[in-house]
Amino acid sequence: MLTERSARVAAARKLTRRSGRDDAGAFLAEGRQAVSEALAEAETDPGAVLEVFATEAAATTHRELLAATRVPVHLLTDRAAASLSETVTPQGLVAVCALRDVAPDTLVSDPPRLAVALAELADPGNAGTVLRTADACGASTVVFGAGSTDPYNGKVVRSSAGSLFHVDVVRSAPLAELVPRVQAAGTTVLAADGGGEVALDEAADEGLLAAPVLWLFGNEARGLDPALGALADARVRIPMRGRAESLNLSVAASICLYATQLAQR
């Protein structure tokens, strides 16, 4: 039974910090949903999950899940599990997973049908929701631009509800350099902007959503940097009939991605 002082637990605890994740090339996925998706990924990619930690209670509750995997499972104390958790109520089930980064050049060499780029997005909850929505709408890649929150932050992983394991992730990408290269590869770049010159329904009618698309979304408070937005093929706004001043970023992303999904059917 491992304790919070065990070397293996101490090493995993370092993954709660970005510097620790970068040094180890790994991150933590906590809870039944995230661990289940991680282990499903490990079935086809044996290096995707390095090890799993579980309390006795969690090991009993999730007996079938853990019995079906070839990934090493270590029992640990409740206190040790709490030291690995970033939640108020630890679930007692944590997987150590390999970082899932792909190179930005992937968007140029093999352009996805639908992708998302986040420019200086700060809130981990929003980031996780965008990952989940992107997955649901068939986007294959989510790009975290330089200055955005870390996609392997514990809150991002939890908010993605396992979708982090279903999409390619690009981290710390220089978007101002990447956008022109993506366009040259045949992808339409659309910037979500409340002051955009094209309405979302107009973009659909004009066929802008039907081709391969990369959506750009900016910071929750400041929006998209004007210089970056100017690089896009079009700045697109979501028409609003009510009196709301603006939409939450993850809500706006959901609307734009769903509309694109419909156009690309």
Whole-number pLDDT of residue 210:
96
Whole-number pLDDT of residue 245:
83
Is the pTM value of this prediction over 0.75?
yes
Alpha helices in 45-140 (DSSP H): 56-61, 63-67, 78-84, 106-109, 124-136
Which CATH number fits the domain 106-263, given the four candidates 3.40.1280.10, 2.60.40.10, 3.30.360.10, 3.30.1360.230?
Answer: 3.40.1280.10
- Report the alpha-carbon distance of residue 163 to residue 33 in Å, rounded: 10
Amino acid at 157: V
Residue pLDDT tens, the chain, 265 long: 999 999 999 999 999 999 999 999 999 999 999 999 999 999 999 999 999 999 999 999 999 999 999 999 999 999 999 999 988 889 999 999 999 999 999 999 999 999 999 999 999 999 999 999 999 999 999 999 999 999 999 999 999 999 999 999 999 999 999 999 999 999 999 999 999 999 999 999 999 999 999 999 999 999 999 999 999 999 999 999 898 888 999 999 999 999 999 999 8
The first and second tokens of residue 40, run together, are 């499903």
What does the buried/exposed string (b/e) look like for 165-175 if buried means 16 or more CB atoms within 10 Å of the residue's CB? bbbbbbbebeb
- Report the alpha-carbon distance of residue 180 to residue 229 in Å, rounded: 12
Amino acid at 54: A
> Token pair 């790994």 is at which residue?
26
Give one DSSP letter per residue of 33-62, joined into a string: HHHHHHHHHHHH-TTSEEEEEE-HHHHHHT
Whole-number pLDDT of residue 187:
98
- Report the alpha-carbon distance of residue 68 to residue 43 in Å, rounded: 10
Q: 3-class SS at 218?
A: coil
Strands 114-118 and 168-173, bridge-based pairing: unpaired
- Report the alpha-carbon distance of residue 106 to residue 61 in Å, rounded: 40
The first and second tokens of residue 97, run together, are 């997973």
Query: In this structure, what is the dihedral angle of CA atoms 83, 87, 89, 93, given to the nearest 10 degrees?
Result: -60
Whole-number pLDDT of residue 228:
97
Whole-number pLDDT of residue 244:
87
CATH topology of domain 7-98: 60s Ribosomal Protein L30; Chain: A; (3.30.1330)
Distance separating the N- and C-terminal Cα atoms of the chain: 51
Whole-number pLDDT of residue 246:
85
φ/ψ bin of 85: left (φ > 0), alpha (ψ from -120 to 50), beta (otherwise): beta
Strands 73-75 and 93-98, bridge-based pairing: unpaired
Q: Where are the domains of the chain?
A: 7-98, 106-263
